[in-house]
Structures are given as structure tokens and as C-alpha cells.
Amino acid sequence: MPVNLNVPDPASLLPVPGVMLGIAQAGIRKAGRKDLLLIGLEPGARVAGVFTQNRFCAAPVVVCRQHLSMIDPGQGIRALVVNTGVANAGTGKDGLARARQTCAEAARMLGCAPSQVLPFSTGVIMEPLPVERIIAGLPQCRDALRADVWADAAAAIMTTDTLPKAASRRFNVGGATVTVTGIAKGAGMIHPNMATMLGFIATDAAVSQPLVKAAVAYASQRSFNCITVDGDTSTNDSFMLMATGKAAMAEIADAKGAEYAAFRDAVTAVAIELAQAIVRDGEGATTFITVRVESGRNEDECRKVALAIAHSPLIKTAFFASDPNLGRILAAIGYAGIADLEVEGVELYLDDVLVAERGGRSPSYRESDGQRVMKQSEITVRVVLNRGKSAATVWTCDLSHDYVSINADYRS
């Protein structure tokens, strides 16, 4: 079971004015499951996204980047189409043609240009996208469009996820009430190098296109780029932010203003909740681990240390076994890439337990204390470098027998 993660209450997921969602069972890979999502946007919505840095990026990623570069400020993106089951990655020119065919069919159905549609896929890599099933399912999605089905939408984009992931917030900007609601999918092939999954956040805030783009980059760097399950960066990673402008407010256009900060922080809060849900639902995970590195010279070196710890299979398997073999953490700190690190200044804590200081085991440390902490389902690893004032946080999970079983049987 996921680590302290529950199915989101549909009533808690707030509709976003200007956004409609429709779901269908298209039989893309397996019959009898929701596997196709259409997100419809009213004219004038501002949309921006960040995508995988994997050079074998999927065909829908290529098409999304192209369509976003063609945005007409007077028209904007009108629809997003998301399918599960087949990733349409490693499929060459044929994959690009099928992604574009999806956009063309959705555009014909909705009465917009193909460049106003963004395609997204997730599932098995290097298999042809059954575009004919998507085309057959799109009318069902259109006919089912509603504003209050975010929970169903979250379920429709799942692959190896055991639970859907969704979150909502309301906040005030200049006296106006603004809504932010988002969904995400991901449980494996999770490693921060952009967004490491599929994520979609919508808001009715009125925000200029440049600031929507700035906000999605800011939020991803502090949320989805701070998680890792297994160190694998997917071919299909995409994180999108949609701002419909339907709230009763003046457009936010000043990056230095309080209104933009409030908007950006609300989006980031939803993104963090979704990102942490992905780790809590990590394939086979039994422990949710926060890795906090403090007192570094800069954020980059703190991040290097945090990721070295979070990526280590030896550390992750020790957490699965609740084995306080914590010298493995010191080893990861040492190979993280800080050439001039003075190990005598490093302090290592497991929750409130001081494990190591002055280059070795703390005289006050007792293995029984480490054992006590490692039996918890949520643990914080805190590293104090004592080199400066910067910090970074990464979220990860343990590595269990079930992770191997899930991925060994993924295609069956």
C-alpha cells in the first residue's frame, strides 16, 4: 500500500472555471479501464509547460513543444489529450504522425486548429500508438465533458499507480478568490530532470503568458524536480500549467508584485503535494523519506548531496529492511561531488538522532535509536554541511522486493 496516501475526496477537488474534463474507456492497451482524457479549455487560456530532458523524448513531447512555440495570443491552447497504456516513445516518424493525427482529430471535433491541441501519452515505450482507438474514444470524452470530474481524470491517467493523485487550493489575489486544482500520475521511472511524470495544474487566475511560463518552471524546480523513486528519467515527462483568466481580477503581469508571488506559491503548493504523492505511491514503497541538506555554500551542492543519498540503492534497501546501516549515507555524502568537502564538519541526523559528527560516528549515537527511527513509515535524513547558508530538500522512498516484481511484470 502507498505510504500514508489516500484516495483524494472528489468533493475536495475544486472545479476551475474555464476547464472541462471528459474521460473514456478507449481500450488503448487493456479493455475495461479509463485510459483516455480530454481537457477542454475556453478561448484565451494561457498554457505553458516543462518537459523531459531525455534525448529519446516521446513523440507527444516533440509535438507539444512545437505547438506551444506556435501559440497565438489571441487564440491559445484549446485542448489537451492524454492517453495511458502506450507511451508513443521510441516510435520514430510514425509516432510523430500518430501524435499529430490525434491533435488533428481533436481539433476537428472541437472546431479549432491542430496546433491548439497538446497530446500526452504514458505507458509502454517502443510500441505503436493505437491512434484509431483514440480517435474512436474522443467523441465519448467530448460528450462527457464536465467541470467537476477531477477525481475521475486523475484515475484515467494512471499506469502502475495504485491510487490517483490530485490536489486543490483556493487563495486570494487583490480581493478575488482564485482556484488551483491539479492531477498527476507517476510511481516508477521517477527521477528529477524536469518533471519525471505527467502533471496538469489548472487555475482561473488571470496571468500573462510570460508569468505562466515562469511559474511552471519555478514550481517544477521545487516539487517534481525534487523527487526520485528509482533514478530513471522517463521519455514522456510533462508538467503543464493552465491559467484560464476567468477569475474576477486584473491580469498579473508584474513578476515582482505580491500578486504574482501569491499565485506562484499557490501553484507550487499544489505541485509539491502532487510530487510527494508520487513518492508515497512509489512502486513497492513502504517508507517515505525526506532528505534535507543544510548549511551548504550554495543550493547546487546541497542538491548534489541530497540526490546522492536519495538515489543510492544501498541506502534505499537499508530503509526497506529498517537496518540502521547508516555508514552508507556517509559514503553517499562523500561521493556526491563536493571536491573540497571537510568531512570533519559534517553532521548526520536521522530525525532527531545525531548519527555522525567530526568525521565519524557520534559518541552519543546508539543503534537502538537508529532502529527506532527506521521502523517509522516516514523518516527525515538531515545532513548539516556547515559550509554556508544554503539548503535543499529531496523526497524519495525505499526500494523493496515489490519494485522488482512490478517492473519485471510491467508488460504482462
The packing angle between helices 327-335 and 313-320, to 10°, is 160
Written as nine digits, the cell of 51 is: 518537459
Q: Give the up-direction half-sphere exposure of residue 120: CA atoms within 13 A in the CB hemisphere.
A: 28
From residue 315, alpha-carbon distances to 131, 327, 331, 384 in Å are 42, 9, 10, 18
CA distance 127 to 109: 26
- According to DSSP, the residues that pair with 81 across neighbouring strands are 38, 119
Residue 196 known to be catalytic: yes
Q: Which residues of 137-146 are buried (b: 16+ CB within 10 A; e: fewer)?
A: bbeebbeebe
Among 84, 102, 181, 196, the one annotated catalytic: 196
H or E segment at 39?
strand 36-41
CA distance 97 to 292: 44
Report yes or no: 79 and 202 within 8 Å, Cβ to Cβ. Answer: no
Written as nine digits, the cell of 108 is: 476537428
CA distance 293 to 265: 22
Matching residue, cell 496538469: 200
- According to DSSP, the residues that pair with 348 across neighbouring strands are 356, 383
Amino acid 254 reads D
Q: Tell me the catalytic residues.
A: 196
